[in-house]
């Protein structure tokens, strides 16, 4: 390696450039480049030459710290190559965090030896959640909360507000504090199932959260070695400072170096590590993106409407991604949303206004009933614009185009506004059919029937594509009082159909095709005669009784399930048969 020149690093994503740029070509951040000196241990490329510690800490972005031994340049150990079937499974131990919604996004609890990043904008509630978690985690060993952001009295004040410690008691935690904390985090009576919920070992004083206010990495490491906590929260990683990694806190090198040391320590001592990171629009301090690749789990805190806070897993080596945890921010801290499935649903007595559709969406491992809202008005500026922050603009645009092309409803001279009640962001493909119906309803002024719930993906040709987890969607919708369900053929129904009652299964498979060449069983179901769609089968409305559950796997909620194969079918079924 030749002599390296000074270079520039993007504080948001760690991208390196030889010259200063106003905008990072990698992540698009503005004004995020900082100059780096080539010499010294902070140099990303100088790994080989620097001292052992710095070398193990600083890696260039992308080169992940592998799980194996330390890469100190001096001590080369002989590498062992192993056949995959001989690798021993390490039984990961999970800790119950005492907060169900957090357990859920972590994939069943906090993994010992693993690290989780909690990102989010300032003020969203990261510190609040971490303090609540620290108090409620069901662990016999100490929990250490390291704060470089707030002073001890500030943290104590928050703890009092959260009910973790009793107000005015000097220095010692209130007996039974854990129980109170539990009540705070576990929304209302139901979950406060045992006294001392927060600290399972009976709320003994020894189990209280240990605090330290420090941002110097060396001192933090020595506290860790001394206290040997099993759960560690570092709030926040942007305050970490180590002389080995340059002198300014919050730079990319500081962040990578500090986090790497902490993650290594957690892995070696089998502790669960939580790293809090601010997401900033400014490039002044490095963002959490820089260390996403180092940690096992990445959680992002987002704010939805009406005080709702959503914790979303975007990466999880020990669980599924796209899992979400739902909280509301109350006076006593973050409170779990008790009935997530129906939380986003508006209760309406009368008919739905035009433009609104109910949809069971699959988020992580559960189904949530949501309400998709569309408003269509003549374009203000000659060309159509789409205002949609909860559903991807491109998706809205595509569905509108398919509707326009196939059903001749004009959107290209309209402004389209899309919203989701409760403000949850939806990225799942199953929302396309309900979105299409909301758009159609908004444009035509015909409301979607109140009792209808829809799910399905739409192809560019207007086919309704099989969508996963239909059974669970139907069940959730039925539990919430929806009596009609419109969706595609179940992916899993294919296999199940052979065992299902013959005729019904055939109807489900044959489905509804337009254009006269009749599929399956003409007119078994509900024929409303609308424009030659006689071949609607497996009807629902007082249709041929037995065929109502057509094609559904045994045990599914079948009544009222209408399978549709094209967008045209769906429109005719939803709006024709009222």
Measured from the CB atom, the residue of 239 and 336 that comes closer to Mg ion is: 239
**N residues, the chain:** 578
Measured from the CB atom, the residue of 162 and 165 that comes closer to ligand TYD is: 162
Residue 123 touches which of ligand TYD, Mg ion, none (Cβ within 5-8 Å per kind):
ligand TYD
Is position 333 an interface residue for ligand TYD (rule: CB under 6 A)? Answer: yes
| Span interacting with Mg ion, options 52-60, 123-131, 169-177, 263-271, rule CB under 5 A | 123-131
Q: Which of 158, 315, 317, 398 binds ligand TYD (CB under 6 A)?
A: 158
Binding mask 385-424 for Mg ion (x = CB under 5 A): ----------------------------------------
| Span interacting with ligand TYD, options 158-166, 204-212, 418-426, 521-529, rule CB under 6 A | 158-166
| Span interacting with ligand TYD, options 52-60, 221-229, 328-336, 412-420, rule CB under 6 A | 328-336
For the residues of 224-255, what is the DSSP string, one character each?
HHHH--SEEEEE-GGG-B-TBTBS-TTSHHHH
- Cα–Cα distance measured from residue 24 to residue 33, given in angstroms and rounded to the nearest whole number: 7
Measured from the CB atom, the residue of 127 and 186 that comes closer to Mg ion is: 127
CB of 331 to ligand TYD, least distance (A): 6
Cα torsion through 561, 567, 568, 570, rounded to 10: 20
10 Å CB burial of residue 448 (0-12, 13-18, 19+) is buried
- Cα–Cα distance measured from residue 468 to residue 492, given in angstroms and rounded to the nearest whole number: 8
Residue 431 touches which of ligand TYD, Mg ion, none (Cβ within 5-8 Å per kind):
none
Residue 90 touches which of Mg ion, ligand TYD, none (Cβ within 5-8 Å per kind):
none
- Cα–Cα distance measured from residue 287 to residue 12, given in angstroms and rounded to the nearest whole number: 5
- Residue 62 contacts by C-beta under 8 Å, 6 or more apart in sequence? 293
- Cα–Cα distance measured from residue 61 to residue 291, given in angstroms and rounded to the nearest whole number: 8
Bridge pairing between strands 115-120 and 272-278: parallel
Provide the CB-side half-sphere exposure for 269 (13 A, CA).
20
Q: What angle is formed at CA 209 by the lines to CA 248 and CA 232, rounded to 5 degrees? A: 45
Q: Look up tokens 């009793």; give the residue.
A: 166
Cα torsion through 313, 319, 322, 328, rounded to 10: -50
Residue 392 touches which of Mg ion, ligand TYD, none (Cβ within 5-8 Å per kind):
none
- Cα–Cα distance measured from residue 116 to residue 313, given in angstroms and rounded to the nearest whole number: 10
Is position 167 an interface residue for ligand TYD (rule: CB under 6 A)? Answer: no
Residue 331 touches which of Mg ion, ligand TYD, none (Cβ within 5-8 Å per kind):
ligand TYD
- Helix, strand or coil, per DSSP, at residue 34: strand
- Cα–Cα distance measured from residue 116 to residue 292, given in angstroms and rounded to the nearest whole number: 9
Peptide bond preceding 236 in cis form (omega within 30 of 0): yes
The DSSP element (H or E) to which 94 belongs, if any, is strand 94-95
| Span interacting with Mg ion, options 48-56, 120-128, 363-371, 509-517, rule CB under 5 A | 120-128
Measured from the CB atom, the residue of 184 and 553 that comes closer to ligand TYD is: 184
Measured from the CB atom, the residue of 159 and 431 that comes closer to ligand TYD is: 159
CB of 116 to Mg ion, least distance (A): 16
Helix crossing, 126-136 with 152-161: angle to 10°?
A: 70
Closest CA to 104 of 266, 316, 279: 316
Q: Which of 71, 156, 161, 475 binds ligand TYD (CB under 6 A)?
A: 161
| Span interacting with ligand TYD, options 23-31, 324-332, 426-434, 440-448, rule CB under 6 A | 324-332
Region 126-155 residues binding Mg ion, contact defined as CB under 5 A: 127
Is position 45 an interface residue for ligand TYD (rule: CB under 6 A)? Answer: no
Binding mask 220-249 for ligand TYD (x = CB under 6 A): ------------------------------
Measured from the CB atom, the residue of 121 and 292 that comes closer to Mg ion is: 121
Is position 157 an interface residue for ligand TYD (rule: CB under 6 A)? Answer: no
| Span interacting with ligand TYD, options 154-162, 336-344, 404-412, 504-512, rule CB under 6 A | 154-162
Measured from the CB atom, the residue of 7 and 274 that comes closer to ligand TYD is: 274
Q: Look up tokens 């057509």; give the residue.
A: 550
- Whether 400 and 438 have beta carbons less than 8 Å apart is answered as no
- Helix, strand or coil, per DSSP, at residue 92: coil
Measured from the CB atom, the residue of 69 and 123 that comes closer to ligand TYD is: 123
Q: Which of 75, 331, 347, 349 binds ligand TYD (CB under 6 A)?
A: 331
- Cα–Cα distance measured from residue 238 to residue 445, given in angstroms and rounded to the nearest whole number: 51
Measured from the CB atom, the residue of 104 and 278 that comes closer to ligand TYD is: 278
Closest CA to 502 of 564, 562, 551, 553: 551
Measured from the CB atom, the residue of 7 and 300 that comes closer to ligand TYD is: 300
- Give the Å distances, CA to CA, from 111 to 43, 288, 295, 364, 544: 33, 20, 12, 19, 52
Which spans in 408-500 are helix H?
A: 432-444, 470-479, 493-496
- Helix, strand or coil, per DSSP, at residue 546: helix
Residue 162 touches which of ligand TYD, Mg ion, none (Cβ within 5-8 Å per kind):
ligand TYD
CB of 149 to Mg ion, least distance (A): 5
Binding mask 108-137 for ligand TYD (x = CB under 6 A): ------------x-xxxxxxx---------
As beta bridge partners, residue 325 has 311
Largest Cα–Cα separation, the chain: 82
Measured from the CB atom, the residue of 330 and 413 that comes closer to ligand TYD is: 330
Provide the CB-side half-sphere exposure for 252 (13 A, CA).
27
- Binding-site ranges for Mg ion (CB under 5 A): 127
- Binding-site ranges for ligand TYD (CB under 6 A): 120, 122-128, 158, 161-162, 329, 331-333
């Amino acid at each position: 390696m030749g002599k390296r020149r000074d270079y520039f690093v993007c504080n948001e994503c760690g991208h390196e450039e030889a010259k200063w740029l106003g905008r990072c070509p990698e992540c698009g951040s503005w004004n995020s480049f900082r100059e780096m000196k080539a010499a010294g241990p902070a140099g990303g490329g100088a790994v080989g030459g620097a001292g052992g510690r710095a070398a193990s800490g600083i890696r260039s972005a992308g080169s992940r710290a592998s799980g194996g031994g330390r890469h100190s340049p001096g001590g080369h150990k002989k590498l062992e190559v192993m056949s995959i079937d001989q690798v021993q499974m390490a039984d990961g131990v999970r800790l119950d965090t005492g907060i169900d919604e957090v357990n859920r996004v972590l994939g069943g609890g906090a993994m010992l030896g693993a690290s989780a990043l909690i990102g989010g904008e300032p003020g969203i509630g990261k510190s609040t959640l971490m303090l609540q978690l620290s108090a409620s985690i069901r662990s016999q060993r100490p929990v250490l909360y390291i704060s470089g952001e707030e002073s001890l009295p500030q943290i104590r004040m928050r703890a009092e507000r959260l009910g973790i410690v009793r107000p005015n008691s000097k220095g010692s935690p209130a007996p039974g504090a854990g129980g109170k904390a539990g009540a705070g985090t576990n929304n209302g009576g139901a979950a406060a199932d045992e006294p001392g919920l927060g600290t399972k070992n009976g709320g003994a004083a020894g189990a209280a959260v240990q605090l330290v206010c420090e941002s110097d990495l060396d001192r933090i490491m020595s506290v860790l070695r001394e206290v040997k906590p099993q759960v560690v929260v570092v709030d926040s990683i942007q305050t970490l400072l180590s002389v080995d990694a340059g002198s300014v806190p919050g730079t990319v090198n500081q962040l990578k170096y500090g986090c790497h040391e902490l993650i290594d320590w957690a892995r070696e001592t089998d502790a669960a590590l939580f790293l809090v990171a601010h997401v900033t629009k400014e490039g002044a301090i490095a963002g959490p993106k820089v260390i996403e690749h180092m940690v096992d789990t990445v959680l992002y805190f987002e704010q939805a409407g009406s005080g709702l806070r959503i914790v979303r897993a975007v990466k999880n080596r020990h669980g599924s991604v796209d899992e979400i945890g739902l909280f509301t921010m109350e006076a006593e801290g973050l409170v779990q949303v008790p009935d997530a499935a129906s939380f986003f649903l508006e209760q309406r007595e009368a008919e739905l206004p035009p433009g609104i559709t109910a949809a069971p969406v699959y988020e992580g491992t559960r189904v949530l009933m949501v309400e998709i809202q569309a408003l269509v008005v003549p374009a203000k500026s000659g060309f159509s614009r789409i205002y949609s922050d909860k559903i991807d603009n491109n998706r809205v645009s595509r569905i509108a185009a398919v509707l326009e092309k196939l059903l001749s409803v004009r959107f290209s001279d309209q402004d389209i506004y899309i919203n989701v009640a409760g403000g949850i962001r939806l990225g799942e493909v199953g929302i396309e059919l309900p979105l299409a119906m909301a758009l159609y309803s908004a444009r035509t002024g015909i409301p979607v029937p109140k009792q209808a719930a829809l799910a399905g993906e739409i192809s560019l040709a207007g086919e309704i594509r099989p969508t996963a987890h239909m059974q669970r969607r139907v069940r959730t919708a039925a539990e919430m009082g929806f009596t009609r369900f419109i969706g595609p053929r179940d992916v899993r129904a294919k296999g199940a159909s052979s065992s299902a009652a013959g005729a019904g299964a055939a109807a489900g498979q044959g489905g509804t095709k337009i254009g006269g060449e009749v599929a399956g069983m003409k007119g078994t179901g509900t024929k409303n005669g609308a424009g030659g769609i006689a071949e609607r089968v497996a009807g629902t409305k007082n249709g041929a009784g037995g065929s109502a559950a057509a094609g559904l796997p045994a045990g599914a909620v079948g009544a009222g399930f209408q399978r549709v194969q094209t967008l045209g079918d769906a429109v005719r079924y939803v709006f024709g048969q009222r």
